Amino acid sequence: MAHGPGRCRCCGAEAAESGAAWGLYLRIDRQRLQCLNERREGSGATVFRPWEQRGDRSQFVESDDDEELLFNIPFTGSVKLKGVIVMGEDGDSHPAEMRLFRNIPHMSFDDTAKEPEQSFSLSRDPLGELEYPTKISRFSNVYHLSMHFPKNFGAETTKIFYIGLKGEWTEAHRHEVTICNYEASANPADHKVEQITPQTHFIS
């Protein structure tokens, strides 16, 4: 296909749009993010970064005891997850399978025996070009995402350089705050009323 002189500007616009589309990394609660079986503590968080920086090979996470990795990713609001990119090396350390779970905080490897919301067979993607679309109906109200990588293509350890999350974010609903206040302050009073009120009726 031939492209005219305006192609460069078009490419730039497409790149900007792509960067914005893969911006869910900004909505991760990084203080509570976990990566289980990471060889270097805190390295799992480094793979969630701007789309434009996906080619930075200095930032990566590598598994420790075996090839499994498990990410627990809390968000600062509600997310509609539309797609995922997983970028590794062009070799056997690249993850070969990805399993996604929604809204199960603090997942452990024992919990991965559950049926995932969706699973994918991965291809080697050293450039971060392959998008795996999710079933949006299953990922339309996600406040916590767990990503399990159970195996790679045959290496002893798994290495991931970049994970892109594509979708939409909305602020947490106000009723969540209301529930927290109710549980913190109102419930004790309610219990007292339940104990006292029946006795008052019997006396009268």
List the pLDDT tens digit at each of the 204 positions of the chain: 444 433 334 444 454 556 678 999 999 999 999 999 999 999 999 999 999 999 999 999 999 999 999 999 999 999 999 999 999 999 999 999 999 999 999 999 999 999 999 999 999 999 999 999 999 999 999 999 999 999 999 999 999 999 999 999 998 765 444 444 444 445 555 544 444 444 444 443
- 35 strand-pairing partners: 71
Which sequence spans correspond to the domains of the chain?
Answer: 27-172, 173-204
CA distances from 15 to 7, 83, 108 (A): 12, 17, 37
Site of tokens 């919990």: 111
Return the CATH number of 27-172, one of 3.40.1010.10, 2.60.120.470, 2.60.120.10, 1.20.1260.10.
2.60.120.470
- Report the C-alpha gap between 117 and 49 in whole angstroms: 24
Burial (CB < 10 A; 0-12, 13-18, 19+), residue 152, is buried
Query: What is the pTM for the complete model shown?
Result: 0.77
SS3 for 26?
A: helix
Q: Which two tokens stand for residue 170?
A: 């909305």
> Are 71 and 104 spatial neighbours (Cβ–Cβ below 8 Å)?
no
Residues contacting residue 148 through CB under 8 Å, at least 6 positions apart: 68, 69, 70, 71, 98, 99, 100, 101, 107, 112, 116
